[in-house]
Amino acid sequence: MQISEATWERLLALRLGHEGLAGVDAAFGLYGPIAGARGQFVLAQVGQSLDGRIATPAGDARDVSGRDGLAHLHRCRALVDAVIVGVGTVKADDPKLSVRMVKGPAPVRVVVDCHGDLDGRESLFRDGGAPVVVIRSSTARGRLFPGADVVSLPPKANGLDPQDILDALAQRNLLRVLVEGGARTIARFIEAGLVDRLHVAISPIIIGSGPSGIILPPVERLTGAHRPVTDVYNLGSDILFDCRLERDRGSARQGKDVCVAQQA
């Protein structure tokens, strides 16, 4: 799927609230719901191999997605207010979480660090990039990082509540959120019924073994499996499945008591 500079400019304008800019081409079908979202909107993104792997057993994940898959991810980052990753992803990949492959604003970078494992040597604290928010349990002992916003949330029975995380971001006017990694972090938000769209980008590579892209509780029969309405896009180097999940928007909604850090 080719995206012209003019189309991308219109999508960026739509992100800023300029209505009446929607188009009818494939780019608007894919990116329009993100750019045009008003209120809280959660997108989860997974880049994986043909056999459903996101990394080697040793943790090498840098070349799973092709160049077009990476450009897609950077477009998604440019259209949201904040991008969430678990501490395991930061420890394994030391990501910049930038938009260097596309034109657009860089999102606030959010790291869920339940137990205060970050030590300040991670690149995102020192690269001069977008602001950083660190979310940890109020019972955790951790460092304060110059220039970073450290948010302490009360743990529930099994850890932090994904809804509490989204609420803390909403208080900072960070409403459009990309949950980028790792697999367990994405799964926690899906389990809690808090994801509007799930993007699964598949690259033509076979890894053979390693962690899976999404890890959810097992179902006994396929009738219990998620079957979202899905559109398929040819990005070029990768094939993208744009899945519409049924998010629970009840006002009394509380996400499941899960810890969304430690293992990405």
Q: Is residue 192 part of a domain?
A: yes
Q: Strands of 82-86's sheet, edge to edge?
A: 149-153, 132-137, 108-112, 82-86, 176-181, 41-49, 197-203, 239-244, 229-234
For residues 70 and 158, state if they share a domain: yes
More confident residue, 18 or 186: 186
233 is a domain residue: yes
Give residue-wise pLDDT tens across range 1-40. Answer: 889 999 999 999 999 988 765 666 889 999 999 999 999 9
Greatest pairwise CA separation for the chain in angstroms: 51
Per-residue pLDDT at 150 exceeds 90: yes
**pLDDT tens per residue across span 92-131:** 889 999 999 999 999 999 999 999 999 999 999 999 999 9
**71: CATH:** 3.40.430.10
The pLDDT of residue 166:
97
Question: Has residue 261 got a pLDDT over 80?
Answer: no
Confidence band of 213 (pLDDT split at 50, 70, 90) = confident
Q: Which domain holds residue 27?
A: 1-36
pLDDT surpassing 80 at residue 55: yes
Work out the mean pLDDT of the chain and round it to a whole number: 89
Looking up tokens 């077009």 gives: 68
At residue 17, the pLDDT reads: 87
Based on the fold, state whether residues 71 and 200 are members of the same structural domain. Answer: yes
Considering only residues 108 and 62, tell me which one the structure prediction assigns the higher pLDDT.
108
Pairing of strands 149-153, 132-137: parallel
Flag whether pLDDT at 259 surpasses 60.
no
pLDDT bucket at 254, cuts 50 / 70 / 90: very low
Dist CA 157 CA 258 (whole Å): 8
* Cα 230 from Cα 33, distance rounded (Å): 14
Domain contains 257: no
Statement to judge: residues 6 and 76 lie in one domain: no
